[in-house]
Amino acid sequence: MALRYKCPNQVAIPAFVYACEENISRRSPRECIIIGSSPVTTMFAAPVHRRGFATSCRALAGLTGPVESRAVVFAEHGDPTKVLKAHRYRLDKLDKGQVRLRFELGAINPADINVIQGVYPSKPQVREDIGPEPLSIMGNEGVATIEGFEEDGQVEHRFKVGDRVVMGAPQLGTWQSHANLPHSSLIPLPSDAHLHLRQAATLAINPPTAWRMLSDFVPLNPEDPNSVSKGKKKQWVIQNGANSAVGQAVIQLAREWGVGTINLVRSRPSIDELKSHLQSLGADHVLTYDEFLSRENNTRTKIKEWIGRDGEMRLALNCVGGKETAEMAKLLSMDGKLVTYGGMAKTALALPPSLFIFRKLTSVGFWLSNWVQTHPEERQTMMRSLAELTAQGKLKEPETEVVELAGSDEEVAEKMSGVMKRIEEGRGKKILLHWKDE
């Protein structure tokens, strides 16, 4: 095994690293080769870390030797508050083209609940190799730092140690501290965007979902050559679940692209705060479901006035599937599209046949996992644009809360059970998991 190690940015590899590890050979002030299987121990990694060379330098530790990853796993599908366990396993040595990741933050999304329950169509791999029983490591979204890689003629051109990456394939297991993954399953974040970790950890699933839904059915992105916004009627979008992470990205992208939004949310004690928050992101109008469905309020008439004769609403985005979904669809103009990307109400989508027959409604779904399989290059371009918008402050990440995982496996499992309980009760911030150094 020969592992090329490049120090990130302008940081040189400190001389004492070579001094205390005989199997490191120097190639340049910022590049060295680690030869053989002799471990680069944590003995020197710790002082490197202290000297401020960041996680990427600390990461030298264990690249060629045993490293333990801590992971949130399940052995059997079931109630998310009950079946999650914490587990430790040894990472193998890197294979060709594999990358050693240290996860900085692992995100929890609503769909993860369904993954744990076993009702989500894409599942994490069942790992026979990491414990006495087969286990699945949870986590679909997150941000990680590259600690090293094993050259294969490609990976060394795509990544350098210290790069931040997001997941480019589903269900890679982001709720763990470390992982060995093929480089092709990762998407680099542009280093000049200088995203902070919370931004990076929430960039790969929800904002792309919003971008695609605003682009692929009724093209609203003015940079799209097929955009319907250019010199034509002002375009509008209506969405439910507008305070979801996707909903907030929709609001902000729509504002950037000159598209009006009508946003529906659940009523709650702090509804005025929520309305103000969404408006601060660029929401044109925010209504509770009750306000939207109420006949007394003449909401239909109001919405038609908002859109006006110079406007047109051909797109509705649905992640709920409740009563309001049909009403959203009824507000669409001829040839409208209803795009469903979630079903939080857990009921069938009930739509009058007449909308399909006479108003040319099309009801479709959107799932990023399907889209990415057929659009690998478009995805890279979109991710760069999203990172830029985020860096420019035009796309704010959703409100997040970082949950620190530490202590014994029992303590971690108990903490995860509490997190799952809170998520099922709803209305919290988006939770990001962070493994404390041991």
Sign (positive or negative) of CA dihedral 288, 292, 298, 299? positive
Which span sits near a second copy by CB under 8 A: 64-72, 221-229, 255-263, 365-373?
Answer: 365-373
Is 348 one of the binding residues for a second copy (CB under 8 A)? yes
CA–CA separation, 8 and 2 (whole Å): 19
CA–CA separation, 138 and 123 (whole Å): 9
Is 321 one of the binding residues for a second copy (CB under 8 A)? yes
To the nearest 10 degrees (0 to 180), the angle between helices 271-281 and 245-256 is 40
CA–CA separation, 180 and 149 (whole Å): 9
Is 42 one of the binding residues for a second copy (CB under 8 A)? no
Is 316 one of the binding residues for a second copy (CB under 8 A)? no
Q: Please give the torsion angle defined by the CA atoms of residues 58, 62, 68 and 73, in that order, rounded to the nearest 10 degrees.
A: 80
Which span sits near a second copy by CB under 8 A: 58-66, 150-158, 293-301, 357-365?
Answer: 357-365
CA–CA separation, 53 and 217 (whole Å): 46
Where in the sequence numbering do the catalytic residues fall? 120
Is 373 one of the binding residues for a second copy (CB under 8 A)? no
Is 352 one of the binding residues for a second copy (CB under 8 A)? yes
Whether the Cβ atoms of residue 407 and residue 224 lie closer than 8 Å to each other? no
By C-beta, is 306 or 367 nearer to a second copy? 367
Cβ 343 to a second copy, closest distance in Å? 3
Is 306 one of the binding residues for a second copy (CB under 8 A)? no
Whether the Cβ atoms of residue 271 and residue 292 lie closer than 8 Å to each other? no
Among 148, 247, 342, 398, binds a second copy (CB under 8 A): 342
The structure tokens listed for 422 are: 């809170």
SS3 434: strand
Is 341 one of the binding residues for a second copy (CB under 8 A)? yes
Which span sits near a second copy by CB under 8 A: 245-253, 294-302, 360-368, 396-404?
Answer: 360-368
Cβ 96 to a second copy, closest distance in Å? 33
Q: Which of residues 145-174 bind a second copy (CB under 8 A)?
A: none
Among 121, 308, 376, 418, binds a second copy (CB under 8 A): 121
Which span sits near a second copy by CB under 8 A: 4-12, 25-33, 190-198, 363-371?
Answer: 363-371
Cβ 431 to a second copy, closest distance in Å? 23
Can you give 255-323 as a three-state secondary structure string? HHCCCEEEEEECCCCCHHHHHHHHHHHCCCEEEEHHHHHCCCCCHHHHHHHHHCCCEEEEEEEECCCCH
* Interacting residues toward a second copy by CB under 8 A: 121, 318, 321, 326, 340-343, 348-367, 370
